Amino acid sequence: MFAAQPAWAQTTAEAPAADADRSGITDIVVTARKQAESLQEVPMSISAVAGKDLENAGYTELNDVARLSGNVFFEAADRSKPQIYIRGVGTRSYDAGSDSSVGIFIDGVYLGRFGAMDMDLMDVERVELLRGPQGSLYGRNTIGGAISVVTRDPSPTFKGRLSGELGASDIGGDWLYSLNAAISGPIAGDDVRGSLSVTRRYRAGYQPVSIANIRGGSEDAWSGRGKLMFNLGEATLRLSADYSHLDGPPLVLVPNQLGGAANNPGPVTPGFVTPAEPTDPYHLSMDTPGQGIVKETYGWSAQLNVPFGAFELTSITALRKLKLNELDDLDGTTLPFQVYLADEDGKQFSQEMRLNYKSDTLSVLLGAYYSKEDVSRTEIINFGPASLLSALVNPAPLKWDFGLNLASKSSALFGQIQWEPVEKLSLTLGGRYSWDEKNVVFDTRSTVPGFIISNFTTPIARKWHSFDPSVSLSYKFTDDVMGYASYTSGFKSGAFQFIAVSPVIAQQVANPESVDSYEAGLRTTLLDRHLRLNAAAFSMNYRDLQQLRVIQFAPGVTAILTANAANSRIKGFEMEGRAVFNSNWSLDFSYGYLDAKFQNYVFNPTLDFSGNRMQRAPKSTLSLGLNFESKTGLGDLTTRIGYAYRSGIFFEADNNVVDPQSSEGALGLWDASLNLKNGNWTIGIWGRNLSDQRYRRQVLNSTGNAQRGIWAEPRTFGARISYDF
């Protein structure tokens, strides 16, 4: 029951059922515009889904929302490299010098580091997805859109839950389990409430790799979340804290030409032969033991809401931390060629202040935002004896260290005025003025200085500012039909280099991206509240895209350069909704069409990518969810059968001209779940990828460089049991 705004989120995301009869559609309440309001009153393209329903379907990670929403691509190479695109706007970077084009927020707190974005859905009330730039309401770098995760508040009455889950995939030896314990309720009457949730997750892994003795897709994780809620007279204070420790999955890189030519990963030492490409991407061999990712994320936040008359003051103070260690076999073979290591340590502080005013015809929001990030990240490449570069300096070991220390500050003033000059007509004006300042220090080291690269330290500082306005006009034709038109400007901060092989490369800084977005839409509830049908059409002018390209800085040796390389025009539409046939059957649906092409992209003097389809921008996306609910002699039964379709995509801007394996064909995934609740007990079963599609989630390369693919999970089943008290 997922689609774009699944009304099956009735227990957590909807108004009381008194708004409609039992077989009709009730209102979904969202806080996308920093105030509680019906989803159908929001003049923008927005989707919402309840965390409880994601859990029942077996969806446990934030990237699963892409299966439910049109024009959204959210795949992760691993749990530290998410690649999020909304309406074709996104970034494939994951380094400390770049920022995401889609903002991820948890309880209003912006998550700045890529490694913290692909989170588990634990104790989640709902997930709201906003398409298009969101500068007048949300933090920095929301040029593509925003995903807002809202966690559950402590309950007014004592309650708790114990749950366990067991599952397996079609790959031998791959099994999984999870355990969860949660408790919530009053601590000191109505004045103090608290909640605590702890989760343990384990998966053996669906890609067994011999010699290295690892398994791709494995996971060993602990996480916890606690919240205290204080009623201070009319004011409310929420204190939240969370912690997560993840070991895995390793980044298993599979050569793209399965069973084909054994392409060398680079210049190979004479006498070494690149092994044959594997024929099965789920049964591999590599020579590097100890591969994996160990990630630790934690943080706390304090949200204070103080109402006084028609006004309300909101303060959100937050501190986030991330620690990351990674080890990968970069060539993806048994050839002792290259090993990649990464270490990252990041700290983020943010403070947001908002003042809301509301009357019958006027709503005003004024806000100020400040954030500070300190990040230290080192990328290391160890060259093995099969690398010709290593052989040339033998017996000295060859290792390159690319260090980057980032100190970033961002400040903004933002606001929005919503005015109803006459009944049913509403005009909204908004804007954001942003100041971004970044100071970085590149620290590049080599064990053999002067061979290809030298030791150097280069500090660089940049400042940017931008004013991004927005305006929308909406009209309620009836109580259940609203139309709107809007214009929004978006901005994403400038970017530094992924790695710097020379002081000249380090000095190359990409300018900010910008977008002008035009949108018109309808939000309707029809057929006596048995059909919710929302639609939006949009056109965007997207400028100064920060793209990755390969440069050659020595014979047979290349480096990745981040630069402003392109402009594009993106057009499309979304349609989504829910049909309730009777008290038992309902259908959630969403469809997105995207025409995303580069208008101007001259890659180099001999390659022109102008007119090519943009990366990770499928032309069509479709989601269907057929739901059945009924009371039986055994308890309350709920079932769902879901289908998610995505047309073919290109992973690189060359559209297979240079890299013929850099695309993935059309993909259709079937999911299903069944849950039976009897009293305090609930049992359920779920299945993902029921037709066992074998496909690549990502391809990591840059045009003209070696290609390696990351393969998705095969058919996977699970069973769950829980007890509520």
The tens digit of pLDDT for each residue in 580-607 reads 999 999 999 999 999 999 998 988 888 8
Q: Which residue has the tokens 């937050």?
A: 318
Confidence of residue 706 (pLDDT cuts 50, 70, 90): low
pLDDT of residue 115: 77
Lowest mean pLDDT among 17-31, 389-403, 472-486: 17-31
Average the pLDDT over 95-103 and give the result: 86
Average pLDDT over the chain reads: 89
pLDDT of residue 3: 39
Helix (H) or strand (E) holding 245: strand 235-247
Confidence of residue 13 (pLDDT cuts 50, 70, 90): very low
The Cα–Cα gap between 412 and 394 comes to 53
- pLDDT of 58 > 90? The answer is no
Structure tokens at 671: 């999911």
pLDDT of residue 406: 95
Domains of the chain in sequence order: 156-724 (2.40.170.20)
Percent of the chain residues topping a pLDDT of 70: 95
- pLDDT of 78 > 90? The answer is no
pLDDT digits (tens, 9 = 90+) for 351-393: 999 999 999 999 999 999 999 999 999 999 999 999 999 999 9
The Cα–Cα gap between 648 and 334 comes to 31
pLDDT digits (tens, 9 = 90+) for 250-278: 899 998 888 777 788 888 999 999 888 88
Structure tokens at 372: 């500070």
Question: Is the N-terminal amide bond of 249 cis, ω within 30° of 0?
Answer: yes
pLDDT digits (tens, 9 = 90+) for 658-702: 888 889 999 999 999 999 999 999 999 999 999 999 999 988 765
**Nearest partner of 708 among 629, 641, 652, judged by Cα:** 652
| Residue pair 651/663 in contact by the 8 Å Cβ criterion | yes
Average the pLDDT over 337-362 and give the result: 94
pLDDT of residue 231: 95
User: How buried is residue 236: exposed, middle or buried, by Cβ count under 10 Å (0-12/13-18/19+)?
Assistant: middle
pLDDT digits (tens, 9 = 90+) for 436-495: 999 999 999 999 999 989 999 999 999 999 999 999 999 999 999 999 999 999 999 999
pLDDT of residue 422: 94
pLDDT of residue 11: 34
Q: Give DSSP secondary structure letters for 474-497.
A: EEEEETTEEEEEEEEEEEE--B--
- pLDDT of 623 > 90? The answer is yes
Confidence of residue 308 (pLDDT cuts 50, 70, 90): very high
| Residue pair 38/25 in contact by the 8 Å Cβ criterion | no
- pLDDT of 2 > 70? The answer is no
- pLDDT of 631 > 80? The answer is yes
| Residue pair 622/673 in contact by the 8 Å Cβ criterion | no
Confidence of residue 304 (pLDDT cuts 50, 70, 90): very high
pLDDT digits (tens, 9 = 90+) for 510-555: 999 999 999 999 999 999 999 999 999 999 999 999 987 777 666 6
pLDDT of residue 555: 65
Average the pLDDT over 113-123 and give the result: 77
Question: Is the N-terminal amide bond of 336 cis, ω within 30° of 0?
Answer: no
- pLDDT of 336 > 80? The answer is yes
The Cα–Cα gap between 367 and 355 comes to 6
Pairing type for strands 681-688 and 109-110 reads unpaired
The Cα–Cα gap between 182 and 223 comes to 12
The better pLDDT of the pair 653, 7 is held by 653
pLDDT of residue 442: 96
The Cα–Cα gap between 115 and 79 comes to 7
Q: Give DSSP secondary structure letters for 53-119.
A: HHHHTT--BGGGGGGTSTTEEEEESSTT-EEEEETTEE----STT---SEEEEETTEE--SGGGTS-
pTM recorded for the entire structure: 0.92
| Residue pair 613/595 in contact by the 8 Å Cβ criterion | no
Pairing type for strands 207-211 and 235-247 reads unpaired
- pLDDT of 82 > 90? The answer is no
pLDDT of residue 6: 38
- pLDDT of 560 > 80? The answer is no
The Cα–Cα gap between 167 and 715 comes to 11
pLDDT of residue 216: 93
pLDDT of residue 649: 95
φ and ψ at 247, to 5 degrees?
A: -115, 105
pLDDT of residue 10: 33
Average the pLDDT over 22-33 and give the result: 77
Pairing type for strands 37-38 and 46-50 reads unpaired
